[in-house]
Structure 1
Amino acid sequence: MKKYALNNITLLQYIMINFGMAVSFGFIELPALMATEAGTDGWISIVIGGLVTMLASLVVIRLMKRFPEGTIFDMLAHYMGKWAGRAAAFLFALYFLLYAYDGLIYTVRLIKGRLLPETPAFLLALMLMLPTYTIARNGLRIVGRYAEFAVLISIWIPFVYLYTVDNLHPLYLMPVLKEGWQPILSAVPGTFFYFLGFVSSVILYPFLNHQKHAPAGLLIANGITMLSYLFITLLCFMFLSPDEAKLIHQPSIYVLKSIELSFIEQVEGLFIAFYAFIFSLAWIPPLYFAVFCTTWIRGKQEHRPHLRGIVILFAASTYFYLPTYDELENISQLLGASGIAIEYVFPGCMLVFLWIYVRLRKGRNET
């Protein structure tokens, strides 16, 4: 019997967790970043960044195929000893906590700034943390089901943007490569931050019902993420002039102000309210992964005590201190640098190490 068989997830849940973690606030922020870094050619940077991420995600899956019965921590403990597994679990716990904190504070800031300006940040964080604990305490299977629900209930959002078709100007995209390849390539590293989350497969892989479908599942998740970013970026670039796209913060929300529906006054308010389900995938799965790491270090199965402590800490911290947008930007930069090291670099290094380790051991056995 598999070690993690009692909490298996389906392929669809696997896809939705990875997709939700990546697309959460990238859908809001990425068009403005690409307009600033590469102008209206920024959509090409997204394609390149998406393809690089797909390649990196396949490296993660190739790594996990070396030890399909366990997580990356079990693998390290098996090959290098328990100290290596615990050290990796500790680093991943810190990374997932930073990931969750960044997503939570961004959401609190957005809701407070756009919907509930008079509501204290502490109350907003508390309202978000209560359902977070309810979902995450019941294990990965429930987290996977919630990810399915969050994405499916938000699937109407892209169709709302079709109401802006009459205001789009495709000529804003012309000419392609107007400033050459240099701005496009220089903007590619900035896209990696908005594709982070696929390293969760180092924990999710042994829980997956049909592991042979893991490569396809991760490619689908990254592909949907890339298409979502392309959709909203191209739409914003065609709605706003090249100069406006560089000046307007959160253009994905700004575009919605042009939509008038007879049955609702502010479409952007409804968008933020429903998109909060997607935002929640930026902290609910990472929080679960963080407590999974901490309980693995202690060799325990019960993760709820750790989860309660972190949830209370996150909510209480906003009462005493709420990062400003500039400070949140610094946190995001730290997360981006950490994410590139952990998600893009570490799996490849680990795969090379295992290849060398197996070759050396085979050589010793032959002698």
Structure 2
Amino acid sequence: MSGSAKNKITSLQYILINTGMQVSVFFLALPRILFEEAGTDGWISLIICWFITVLASLAIIKVMSRQPEGTLLDLLTSYGGKWAGRAAAIALFLYLLYFAYSSLIQTTLITKEWLLPQTSAYLIILMLLIPTYVVAISGIRVIGRYAEITGLLSLWIPFVYLLPLKEAHWLHLLPIAGEGWRPISAGLPFGLYCFLGFATTFILYPYLQNKRQASKVITISNTLTLLLHLFVTMVCYVYFSPDEIATYNEPAINVLRVIEFKFVERIEVIFIALYLLIFSLGWIPALYMCAYCTNWLTGMQSERNHFRVLLLILAVGSYFYIPTLHQNENLERLFLRVGIGVEYAFPLLLLMCLWLLDRLSRRKNA
């Protein structure tokens, strides 16, 4: 990744990359997960998580504004030395690889379950990695354009989810906070899970064309994520009964079965096929930024070779092992704990450390 003008991304492209990572594959099971933890008050947990996410995102912007033309790796190198930068590069690489792998496997399992039941999971992964290579090999700006196209082609999705509301039962939402705040607080960790992905700002920040609007842009991105998650969750809550919603693994898909057209028999199958574009935003940017981290460690001038090696490792590794649905759920729960530490705790801790360093340097200079 180069800092040249040809690799700059617009504010809209950043919003769509970030939101795409947050609402990719993970939102399909979100209504069920929130219901299991917080009941029909899970939507309140989402709003609280949005507020926490905005604070953490603004902390990242505040940190990155100290070195506008560099990434987190450059910032930590200048403050803590080369070993601090290298440690951060390795940690960020592992985290983004975990993020991308979890998204890719979940997409593969959903595709196999709903679209290609007779096709092996390994072949599905290969078919997904081919367009991944085509899109990401040209750089972050092309990924931004891909996110724009994906966003444009996905504008119809919210309107489809309006159709089940004709059979909605709004009384399912009552009473609000009927069991107090304990269930709502229990849903917070899983609400934070659906906002994970904004830590890519640590790498994307220097490639924003207009850094002065970075705080506004990241707030808009997280707000868009909230609205999408909140909308789909509320539709599932008012359509399914409280006893029914927990029986579906991906209620955001099952709710579409109520939709019937004379020319389409199973709308949910078409939905998943078209939604694969949004699924791909869960791993394409993450894998490219993994290549950036390894490229930064080696000091080379291009991420292409690193990206090719990374895809080759994924393809060969998937031939020998692919997690089952249950194993992938365990991986996601572990990823939730790691993600909260990386994307929420670390930015706030780093901001405090930088503030203390500034205070100490001022005292020495006084």
For the aligned residue pairs, the C-alpha RMSD in angstroms reads: 1.2
Flag structure 1 segments of 5+ consecutive residues without an equivalent.
none
* Pairwise CA distance, 1:3: 4.3
Contact kept in structure 2, 1:136 and 1:143, CA below 8 Å:
yes
Who is 2:358 aligned against? 358
For residues 340 and 334 of structure 2, the distance between their equivalents in structure 1, rounded to whole angstroms, comes to: 10
- Within 5 Å, give how 1:30-109 maps onto structure 2: 30-109=30-109
Who is 1:18 aligned against? 18
* Pairwise CA distance, 1:27: 2.3
- Within 5 Å, give how 1:287-298 maps onto structure 2: 287-298=287-298
For residues 260 and 27 of structure 2, the distance between their equivalents in structure 1, rounded to whole angstroms, comes to: 21
Contact kept in structure 1, 2:6 and 2:141, CA below 8 Å:
no
Equivalent AA in structure 1 for residue 64 of structure 2:
M
For residues 49 and 299 of structure 1, the distance between their equivalents in structure 2, rounded to whole angstroms, comes to: 38
Q: Secondary structure at the match of 2:162?
A: helix
For residues 162 and 360 of structure 2, the distance between their equivalents in structure 1, rounded to whole angstroms, comes to: 58
- Within 5 Å, give how 1:260-279 maps onto structure 2: 260-279=260-279
Contact kept in structure 1, 2:189 and 2:336, CA below 8 Å:
no
Contact kept in structure 2, 1:122 and 1:316, CA below 8 Å:
no
1:53-94 Cα deviation digits (max 9, x unpaired): 111111111111111111011011111111111110111001
Contact kept in structure 2, 1:4 and 1:206, CA below 8 Å:
no
Who is 2:342 aligned against? 342
Q: Secondary structure at the match of 1:70?
A: coil
1:184-236 Cα deviation digits (max 9, x unpaired): 11111111111001110011110000001111111111101111111111111
1:123-159 Cα deviation digits (max 9, x unpaired): 1111110110111111110011111111221111111
Who is 1:239 aligned against? 239
- Within 5 Å, give how 1:245-324 maps onto structure 2: 245-324=245-324
1:35-68 Cα deviation digits (max 9, x unpaired): 1111111111111111111111111111111111
1:250-288 Cα deviation digits (max 9, x unpaired): 111111111101121110001100111010011000001
Equivalent AA in structure 2 for residue 143 of structure 1:
I
For residues 211 and 275 of structure 1, the distance between their equivalents in structure 2, rounded to whole angstroms, comes to: 31
Who is 2:145 aligned against? 145
For residues 89 and 4 of structure 2, the distance between their equivalents in structure 1, rounded to whole angstroms, comes to: 17
* Pairwise CA distance, 1:4: 4.6
For residues 241 and 347 of structure 2, the distance between their equivalents in structure 1, rounded to whole angstroms, comes to: 41
For residues 331 and 97 of structure 1, the distance between their equivalents in structure 2, rounded to whole angstroms, comes to: 13
Identity %: 47
* Pairwise CA distance, 1:6: 3.8
For residues 122 and 241 of structure 1, the distance between their equivalents in structure 2, rounded to whole angstroms, comes to: 37
1:176 matches 2:182 = no
Q: Secondary structure at the match of 1:118?
A: coil
Flag structure 2 segments of 5+ consecutive residues without an equivalent.
none
